[in-house]
Amino acid sequence: MRAFVVSEEGDTLSMGVREVEAVASDANDILVSVDYSGVNFKDAMVAASKSRVRRVSSLVGGVDAAGTVMHSTDAALPEGTRVAVHGGTLGVARDGGFAQSIYSPANYITALPDSISTRVAMIIGTAGFTAMESLLALEDRGLEAGSEVLVTGATGGVGSHAVALLAANGYRPVASTGSPTASAWLFERGAVRVIGRDEVADNPGRVMASETWAGAIDCVGGDTLAQILRSLRYGGAVAACGLVGSVELSTTVYPFITRSVALLGIDSVEATRSTRVRVWSALGAVATRIDFEALVDREVDLEELTPALDDIRQGKTRGRILVNPTPG
Ligand SMILES: NC(=O)c1ccc[n+]([C@@H]2O[C@H](COP(=O)([O-])OP(=O)(O)OC[C@H]3O[C@@H](n4cnc5c(N)ncnc54)[C@H](OP(=O)(O)O)[C@@H]3O)[C@@H](O)[C@H]2O)c1
Helix (H, G, I), strand (E, B) or coil at 177: strand
Can you tell me which atom of ligand 1 is nearest the CA of 313? 20
Helix (H, G, I), strand (E, B) or coil at 148: strand
Is residue 60 in contact with ligand 1, taking CB distance under 6 Å?
no
Q: Which CATH number fits domain 2-111+291-323: 3.90.180.10, 3.40.50.150, 3.40.50.620, 3.20.20.70?
A: 3.90.180.10
Can you tell me which atom of ligand 1 is nearest the CA of 266? 1
pLDDT per position as a tens digit, 103-150: 999 999 999 999 999 999 999 999 999 999 999 999 999 999 999 999
Please name the residues in contact with 285: beta carbons below 8 A apart, sequence gap of 6 or more.
113, 115
Hey, whose CA ends up nearest to atom 37 of ligand 1? 153
pLDDT per position as a tens digit, 249-261: 999 999 999 999 9
Supply the DSSP string of 46-79, one letter for each residue: HTSTT-SS--SSEEE--SEEEEEEEE---TTS-T
Can you tell me which atom of ligand 1 is nearest the CA of 243? 45
| pLDDT recorded at residue 184 | 97
Q: What percent of the chain has pLDDT over 70?
A: 100
Hey, whose CA ends up nearest to atom 43 of ligand 1? 156
75 has a pLDDT exceeding 90: yes
Query: How confident is the prediction for the chain on average, in pLDDT?
Result: 97
How far does the chain reach from its first CA to its final CA, in angstroms?
A: 16
pLDDT per position as a tens digit, 2-58: 999 999 999 999 999 999 999 999 999 999 999 999 999 999 999 999 999 999 999
In angstroms, what is the span from residue 312 Cα to ligand 1's centroid? 9
| pLDDT recorded at residue 256 | 98
Hey, whose CA ends up nearest to atom 31 of ligand 1? 245
DSSP 26: S
Domain residue extents for the chain: 2-111+291-323, 126-265
220 has a pLDDT exceeding 90: yes
Helix (H, G, I), strand (E, B) or coil at 208: coil
Calculate the alpha carbon distances from 222 to 50, 229, 235, 248, 317 in Å. 23, 11, 22, 5, 21
pLDDT per position as a tens digit, 85-103: 999 999 999 999 999 999 9
Is residue 317 in contact with ligand 1, taking CB distance under 6 Å?
yes
Is residue 269 in contact with ligand 1, taking CB distance under 6 Å?
yes
| pLDDT recorded at residue 328 | 79
pLDDT per position as a tens digit, 178-216: 998 999 999 999 999 999 999 999 999 999 999 999 999
Calculate the alpha carbon distances from 219 to 126, 156, 222, 244, 252 in Å. 13, 9, 10, 7, 20
Write down the H helix ranges in 169-315: 183-189, 222-231, 254-258, 273-286, 305-313
In angstroms, what is the span from residue 244 Cα to ligand 1's centroid? 5
CA distance 28 to 199: 50
Tell if the pTM clears 0.85, that is, is over it: yes
Element housing 159 (H / E): helix 157-168
Tally the C-alpha atoms within 13 A of residue 107's C-alpha that lie toward its C-beta.
11
In angstroms, what is the span from residue 277 Cα to ligand 1's centroid? 24
Per-residue burial over 12-40, b = 16 or more CB atoms within 10 Å of its CB, e = otherwise: eeebebeebebeeeeeebbbbbbbbbbbb
| pLDDT recorded at residue 131 | 98
Is residue 191 in contact with ligand 1, taking CB distance under 6 Å?
no
Is residue 154 in contact with ligand 1, taking CB distance under 6 Å?
yes
In angstroms, what is the span from residue 208 Cα to ligand 1's centroid? 26
Is residue 195 in contact with ligand 1, taking CB distance under 6 Å?
no
Residue 64 contacts residue 40 (beta carbons within 8 Å): yes
CA distance 119 to 43: 19
| pLDDT recorded at residue 227 | 98
327 has a pLDDT exceeding 90: no
Write down the H helix ranges in 89-156: 118-140
Per-residue burial over 245-277, b = 16 or more CB atoms within 10 Å of its CB, e = otherwise: beeeeeeeeebeeebebbbbebebeebeeebbe
Can you tell me which atom of ligand 1 is nearest the CA of 269? 3
**CATH annotation of 126-265:** 3.40.50.720
Hey, whose CA ends up nearest to atom 26 of ligand 1? 153
